[in-house]
Amino acid sequence: MGSRASAEKMANIPLSRSQVFGELRKELHDDKEFHESDAHVFIIMGASFQDGMNSKAGDLAKKKIYPTLWWLFRDGLLPEQTYFVGFARSNLTVDAIRAACMPYLKVADTESERLSAFFQRNTYISGKYDDESSFSKLDTHITSLPGGPDANRLFYLALPPTVYHEVTRNIKHCCMSKKGWNRVIVEKPFGHDLQSSEELSAHLSALFTEEQIYRIDHYLGKEMVQNLMVLRFGNRIFGPIWNRDSVACVVLTFKEPFGTKGRGGYFNDFGIIRDVMQNHLLQMLCLVAMEKPASTSSDDVRDEKVKVLKCIAPVSMSEVVLGQYVGDPEGEGDAKLGYLDDPTVPKGSTQATFATAVLYVHNERWDGVPFILRCGKALNERKAEVRLQFTDVPGDIFGNQCRRNELVVRVQPNEAVYAKMMSKKPGVYFSPEETELDLTYKSRYKDVKLPDAYERLILDVFCGSQMHFVRSDELREAWRIFTPLLHQIDNEKPKPTLYKYGSRGPTEADDLAKRVGFRYEGTYKWVNPHRL
Ligand code: NDP
Ligand code: BG6
């Protein structure tokens, strides 16, 4: 992996568009299939905002995919000859798409001409997902664009899983580029459990090669998630303590301060474990726990992730706490409403909106170290982080005044890496005091604009880099770890512990973390140096 120095370069030195793209390609391992003059067509399957099949799919296209393509186009990061085609069931015009996306595009006053240029590169075709002739029509249209039948084609499936099978089959039969490459970007959920995921994988692998399939877990596109490998393997100071001799536990956290917001229908079919824990948190766990890969090539990295997953036994119900939020009568607005007050949630649902689970990696490095995964909606704050809590200092000479060290990689908001440590209380004293070594991105990298996760990932697909995408064997292992627990929950429907909207979640989750070895002292106070 290169340094992604291009991000800084983009901020400081005006490079021509294809130069920047060329640089990124070099960093992301030269794409042998790429030629400078090649035309590319990006096809958004499910670009509809009106057919109401699944609010998540339409939402994704409008809120994420079109805006991301616009930002990449605006910043000149795409190959010169790139065209965009929307495909869905509704009768839509490009103008209607533009209007629907507008609130999410973040267009500056000076960019309106560029925005028009972007939408001039856009077209839309309506058709049925299960109808081959619709896909032939789509193919005829793509072929009419610059590059003709040989343009490279990227298919983004922003679709509900119910239509994956037929859409991918129709793409394969009717829409493949003749001489250019074809890449298919698949969004989660990748199935519902091990069996359904295996079925989907078997279906996809009968149609496409693994090199053509890009399974997105957008957490792999986040700056600090990508930084985990550099922090671990680019520094001497962490390597020797990154193991069971020094680490007491690892805590991986995802918290959101809002509830399901009308997406309860979709969410209720999945629950927080399938929505966040089995993918986003488990991916972060892999990057924290895996061994150093032989190189930064996509497959070397993913080989190590698979190896570490293979060392994890299925999660046991006895090491899980499930929660569901209820409204806070004293809260404001949405906070008054509980999960069951969402009209799209079935009455009496026992679906979990919060979960804490403890996993163990049974290998030489991690044996006995608990990995505590915590995630929830309608909590007290927005936060995603990785926290390593180190063991007590052996042979204490400071009368029990020292607290455990912690290394925290905060993924969001306000990217930061900080190490909580003891230092002499400044002045005439000689007692230890809690403080931190602090790398806060906003202060250290003032002028660097960090790209959104989707920007990086879509660019990676153009560049042919699969490092930050989920391979099928990785997915299989992830489902193997969670499927027995999920089936038990689906069958037995245990009642989740209720927690108040805006709280830290059920206290039972803190009790579980404590029981397996996490220590919270409540003594650490952070003084933000920028507010002094
Ligand atoms: P804390 O000691 O406050 O929290 C450590 C951990 O303990 C967190 O995971 C927290 O959970 C958990 N915890 C909190 N309350 C309890 C409880 N009652 N029982 C059990 N566990 C509990 O340290 P932090 O590292 O979180 O730092 C404190 C604040 O300072 C944070 O807001 C942090 O962002 C900020 N800070 C910012 C820095 C920066 O921006 N560069 C640098 C250092 C600190 P939970 O995740 O739910 O809170
Ligand atoms: C998605 C989940 O994968 O991630 C959502 O389906 C969640 O429920 C979202 O809100 C969180 O993403 P981010 O990037 O906002 O942390």
Mean pLDDT, range 247-268, rounded to an integer: 93
Q: What residues contact 95, with CB distance under 8 A and at least 6 apart?
A: none
**In the structure encoding, which two tokens stand for residue 519, read together?**
């220590």
> How confident is the model over 371-392, as pLDDT tens digits?
999 999 999 999 999 999 999 9
Residues that are catalytic: 280
d(CA 525, ligand 1 centre) in Å? 9
Nearest by Cα to 421 from 410, 401, 405, 409? 405
Report whether pLDDT(280) > 70. yes
Report whether pLDDT(51) > 60. no
Ligand 2 neighbour 187 (Cβ under 6 A): no
CA–CA distance, 270 with 127 (Å, rounded to integer): 29
d(CA 526, ligand 1 centre) in Å? 9
**In the structure encoding, which two tokens stand for residue 40, read together?**
């590319």
Least distant ligand from the CA of 277 = 2
> How confident is the model over 16-47, as pLDDT tens digits?
555 555 566 555 545 566 666 799 999 999 87
Mean pLDDT, range 113-141, rounded to an integer: 97
d(CA 276, ligand 2 centre) in Å? 7
Nearest by Cα to 163 from 279, 280, 48, 40? 48
Ligand 1 neighbour 436 (Cβ under 6 A): yes
DSSP letters, 81-127, are: SEEEEEEESS---HHHHHHHHHHHH---GGGHHHHHHHHHTEEEEE-
Rounded to two decimals, the pTM is 0.93
**In the structure encoding, which two tokens stand for residue 369, read together?**
């170290």
d(CA 254, ligand 2 centre) in Å? 9
* pLDDT at residue 31, as a whole number: 58
164-174 and 194-207 helices, crossing angle to 10°: 10
Cβ(314)–Cβ(482) below 8 Å: yes
The percent of residues in the chain predicted with pLDDT above 70, rounded, is 91
* pLDDT at residue 47, as a whole number: 76
**In the structure encoding, which two tokens stand for residue 271, read together?**
């629950």
Least distant ligand from the CA of 380 = 1
CA–CA distance, 441 with 415 (Å, rounded to integer): 6
Strands (E), 414-511: 416-424, 432-440, 497-500
CA–CA distance, 224 with 429 (Å, rounded to integer): 37
Report whether pLDDT(4) > 60. no
Closest-CA residue, ligand 1 atom 7, reads: 520
Report which ligand 2 atom has the smallest distance to the Cα of 188.
Answer: 3
CA–CA distance, 316 with 9 (Å, rounded to integer): 48
Residue showing tokens 């063991």: 391
* pLDDT at residue 447, as a whole number: 86
β-sheet with 370-376: strand ranges across:
432-440, 416-424, 406-412, 383-390, 247-255, 370-376, 354-360, 320-326, 497-500
d(CA 426, ligand 2 centre) in Å? 42
* pLDDT at residue 529, as a whole number: 79
pLDDT band (50, 70, 90) for residue 55: very low
Task: Using DSSP bridges, classify how beta strands 152-157 and 182-187 pair: parallel, antiparallel or unpaired.
Answer: parallel
Report which ligand 2 atom has the smallest distance to the Cα of 382.
Answer: 16
> Beta partners for 214?
185
Report whether pLDDT(50) > 80. no
**In the structure encoding, which two tokens stand for residue 235, read together?**
């520094």
Pocket-testing residue among 253, 321, 436, 520, ligand 1, by greatest number of atoms within 8 A of Cβ: 520
Ligand 2 neighbour 275 (Cβ under 6 A): yes
Top pLDDT among 198 and 55 is at: 198
Q: Identify the three-state secondary structure at position 455.
A: helix
Cβ(173)–Cβ(467) below 8 Å: no
Mean pLDDT, range 290-299, rounded to an integer: 97
Least distant ligand from the CA of 217 = 2
Report whether pLDDT(65) > 50. yes
Ligand 1 neighbour 503 (Cβ under 6 A): no
Mean pLDDT, range 164-169, rounded to an integer: 95
Which stretch of 53-62, 179-188, 232-241 has the lowest confidence by average pLDDT? 53-62
Closest-CA residue, ligand 2 atom 8, reads: 275
Report whether pLDDT(470) > 70. yes
Cβ(501)–Cβ(194) below 8 Å: no
pLDDT band (50, 70, 90) for residue 265: confident
Mean pLDDT, range 182-200, rounded to an integer: 94
Q: Identify the three-state secondary structure at position 443.
A: helix
List of long-range contacts for 137-146, beta carbons under 8 Å, 24+ apart: 138/43, 138/85, 138/87, 138/174, 138/175, 139/174, 139/175, 141/85, 142/41, 142/43, 142/85, 142/175, 145/39, 145/41, 145/83, 145/85, 146/39, 146/81, 146/83
> How confident is the model over 322-369, as pLDDT tens digits?
999 999 999 999 999 999 999 999 999 999 999 999 999 999 999 999
* pLDDT at residue 3, as a whole number: 40
* pLDDT at residue 140, as a whole number: 98
Nearest by Cα to 56 from 208, 145, 187? 187
